[in-house]
Amino acid sequence: MKTFHSLPNPEEMGFKWPAFSKALERLTNVESRRREAERIASELQERINSEKGQDIRRLADAIASGNPDPAPPGLEDLTDELREQQRLARALEEAEPRAEGELLKAAQEHREEWAEEVDAALQKAIKAERQAYEKALGATQKARERRQHIEALSAWIRTRPPVFSPPSDATVPATFGQLREDADRAERQMQERQEAERLEVEDNRRRERKERDARRSQEGAA
């Protein structure tokens, strides 16, 4: 399975990418038609095999009982339809990589535009994620501490030790800390990608200037 088959739908993430949607729709249509043709071909093959098996049993019964041999079943229509579905399935299988290529081509042609749009959305998503963690941390910690204290009180009532030790742990802060670290990682990697792309653009510009200056020098010398 190709990587982009498991990508989230850009439209569901709030992105309006007509070129992507159009290419994805074509690919989805090809895949759907191929699976349908393969399903029909498989069912036809099973039906033909069943008819042939029944024919053999009828012929065996006739031979054993001394009756005239039954006429063979008319499978021409089923066989013709099977060949057509197999032909269609093979054609769709060949067309599928082409449709995949069109989707990848669209992504490449709009790479800079879509990358900038996605990064802006990613920055907002990271901020919203951190805010959600901060909001949930307080409520989760409070609920956990209440449960722990009631649990400890339940045990004390039964055993009545001379000292009651209030429970204390760092489970919730540690858990949310790990989640925040993952958000930090996402932001850090995004910034690293952006910096690498910026350096690549600058390097390309310098190389283009050198090539342009070299051409001008050659033209001047001529």
Task: Identify whether residues 118 and 210 lie together within a single domain.
Answer: yes
Task: Identify whether residues 72 and 156 lie together within a single domain.
Answer: no
Considering only CA atoms, which of 29, 27, 38 is closest in space to residue 1?
A: 27
Task: Identify whether residues 76 and 147 lie together within a single domain.
Answer: no
Classify residue 173: in a domain, yes or no. Answer: yes
How high is the pLDDT of residue 3?
A: 54
- List pLDDT tens digits, range 116-169: 999 999 999 999 999 999 889 888 888 888 888 888 888 888 887 777 676 777
Task: Identify whether residues 93 and 17 lie together within a single domain.
Answer: yes
Q: How confident is the model at residue 12 (pLDDT cuts 50, 70, 90)?
A: confident
Task: Identify whether residues 122 and 190 lie together within a single domain.
Answer: yes
Sign of the torsion formed by the C-alpha atoms of 44, 50, 55 and 58? negative
C-alpha distances (whole Å) from 217 to each of 207, 212, 213, 214, 220 are 15, 9, 6, 5, 5
Among the listed ranges 7-16, 49-58, 162-171, which one has the minimum average pLDDT value?
Answer: 162-171
Task: Identify whether residues 72 and 119 lie together within a single domain.
Answer: no
Classify residue 2: in a domain, yes or no. Answer: no
Q: Which of 61, 78, 109 is the last residue of a domain?
A: 109
User: How far is Cα 142 from Cα 165, in angstroms, rounded to an integer?
Assistant: 18
Among the listed ranges 38-47, 73-82, 137-146, which one has the minimum average pLDDT value?
Answer: 137-146
Task: Identify whether residues 128 and 48 lie together within a single domain.
Answer: no
Task: Identify whether residues 183 and 94 lie together within a single domain.
Answer: no
Task: Identify whether residues 138 and 177 lie together within a single domain.
Answer: yes
Given a cut of 50, is residue 87 above it in pLDDT? yes
Given a cut of 90, is residue 184 above it in pLDDT? yes
**How many domains does the chain fold into?**
2
DSSP letter string, the chain: --GGGGSPPGGGGT---HHHHHHHHHHHHHHHHHHHHHHHHHHHHHHHHHHHHHHHHHHHHHHHHTPPPPPPP--HHHHHHHHHHHHHHHHHHHHHHHHHHHHHHHHHHTHHHHHHHHHHHHHHHHHHHHHHHHHHHHHHHHHHHHHHHHHHHHHHHHH--SS-------HHHHHHHHHHHHHHHHHHHHHHHHHHHHHHHHHHHHHHHHHHHHHHHHHHH-
Q: Which of 82, 109, 136 is the last residue of a domain?
A: 109
Classify residue 132: in a domain, yes or no. Answer: yes
Q: Which of 109, 137, 159 is the last residue of a domain?
A: 109
Q: How confident is the model at residue 1 (pLDDT cuts 50, 70, 90)?
A: very low
Classify residue 15: in a domain, yes or no. Answer: yes
Residues of the domain holding 91: 8-109
Considering only CA atoms, which of 184, 172, 124 is closest in space to residue 147?
A: 172
This prediction's pTM: 0.64
